[in-house]
Amino acid sequence: MTFLAKPFSLLAVVCLLAGFVVAPPAVADDPGAAARERQWPLEVMGVPAAWELSRGEGVTVAVLDTGVDARHPDLAGAVVEGPDLTGAGTTHIAHHGTSMASLIAGRGHGPGGDLGVVGVAPRATVLSIRVTLETHDPARADPRVARQVRGAVARGIRWAVDHGADVVSMSLGGADGSYEGSPDEAAAVRHALSKGVVLVASAGNDGAGANRPTYPAAYPGVIAVGAVDQRLGPAPFSNRRSYVSVTAPGTGIVSADARGSYVVGDGTSSAAAFVAGIAALVKARHPGMGVSDVRRAILQGAVWSNAGRRDDAYGHRVANARRALLVAGAPRRAAMATRPRQASVTGPARSTGSGPLIWSVLLLLVAALVARLALRA
């Protein structure tokens, strides 16, 4: 898994906030209020401004992960339960997956939805598909389960495509053989892309180590997401590879946890979930948009980090929801703007550059006619 997290209680919330903000009494009294106060990535990625254009309505994001706790107050009404493809039962389930789902489509809770975690696309639907185990799940030691899990990502991608997913979010990698990839996964990725489904995956947390390629992020066509910190510098753990498409916040990320609690963690998992949310915003705004155009909107809409250039750590800069939506809409606006000029055939607005050529031809014809009359005389 690519998320380094620690759950926090009410006391821990106060301790975590002490070094970052001066919290009003309400924050100390409610973990949900504390969680909302710590959602710094939303402003960094231009999410509140993006909500003026889209909130992910009508889009289904398949979350291939450890399962999602649909009972969490921040995810009430947002989750559709899919299959458990791990064959591992229900022990140690839904912690990591719930965190990622909340960053994508959390709706908050309480009066006006002002408490808890709100996701990038709060009106999108999460389709939960369990394809991997929690890091500390004892079932990982079971050879039978290990065999089942090894092929679960490929099966999960196909199941998501066949059941209406518009976006597939995969905040996973770095274990279960994912450093090498597999033919089944590669084929499933190609199948999803051919059906117009956007695939997003975490780039991996091996940047401070061997920096090995991580799958499914490294498959062609997948939007691979690295992590930046609050200063928009590359997170030390984030993989630095040529397949990194874009980056997003991945340190000090507050998200929902199973059983109604919250968690703070670091990892490219969170970064990928944020970008999956941006993809949902774009798909909701432009339902017929193809995979390559959604990808282009996210990459071209990214903003320069403090590095000021494209490299293996940043990919195509830091993802921005508002700018992605504007880029996605730009081709349509440009087409509408040029259509009247293309239809016009009269008046001074018509200037194609062919006028001088036409006059030259006419003068040549007149000269030829004059010469012919002169010869007859």
Query: Is the pTM here over 0.75, yes or no?
Result: yes
Question: Residue 61: inside a domain, yes or no?
Answer: yes
In a domain, 201, yes or no: yes
Please tell me the distance from the alpha carbon of residue 33 to that of residue 321, in angstroms, as a whole number: 24
Catalytic one among 72, 92, 96, 286? 96
Q: According to the model, what pLDDT value does residue 40 have?
A: 97
Residue 269 annotated to the active site: yes
Q: How far is Cα 42 from Cα 307, in angstroms, rounded to an integer?
A: 21
Q: How confident is the model at residue 371 (pLDDT cuts 50, 70, 90)?
A: low
Least confidently predicted of 30-39, 240-249, 360-369: 360-369
Q: Per-residue b/e over 263-278, b at no fewer than 16 CB within 10 Å?
A: bbbbbbbbbbbbbbbb
User: Peptide bond before 216: cis, by omega within 30 degrees of 0?
Assistant: yes
> Is the predicted pLDDT of residue 2 greater than 90, yes or no?
no
Domain interval for residue 293: 4-335
Number of domains in the chain: 1
Least confident range from 69-83, 86-100, 312-326: namely: 86-100
User: What is the spatial distance between Cα 262 and Cα 175, in angstroms, rounded to a whole number?
Assistant: 25
Contact 61, 121 (CB under 8 A): yes
Closest CA to 249 of 222, 271, 273: 271
Lowest mean pLDDT among 178-182, 214-218, 317-321: 178-182
Predicted local confidence at residue 26, as pLDDT: 39
Q: How confident is the model at residue 173 (pLDDT cuts 50, 70, 90)?
A: confident
Residue at 141 is within a domain: yes
Task: In whole angstroms, give the CA distance from residue 256 to residue 81.
Answer: 17
* Angle, CA 220 vertex, CA 57 and CA 44 arms, to 5°: 45
pLDDT greater than 60 at residue 336: no
List all residues 6 or more positions away from 125 whose beta carbon is below 8 Å from its beta carbon.
59, 60, 61, 78, 79, 80, 105
Distance separating alpha carbons of residues 305 and 140, to the nearest angstrom? 38
Residue 346 domain flag: no
In a domain, 71, yes or no: yes
* Cα–Cα separations (whole angstroms), residue 93 to 75, 96, 110, 196: 16, 8, 26, 30
Instruction: Exactly one of 99, 171, 269, 270 is catalytic; name it.
Output: 269
Quote the CA–CA distance of 125 and 121 in Å, as a whole number: 9
Task: Assign residue 285 the CATH number of its domain.
Answer: 3.40.50.200
Q: What count of Cα atoms within 13 Å lies in the side-chain half-sphere of residue 206?
A: 19
Residue 85 lies in a domain: yes
- Mark whether 96 is an active-site residue: yes
**Is 369 domain-assigned?**
no
Contacts of 13 (CB under 8 A, 6+ apart): 27, 28, 31, 34, 35, 262
Residue 350 inside a domain? The answer is no
Q: What is the mean pLDDT of residues 345-353?
A: 34
CB atoms within 10 A of CB 256: 30
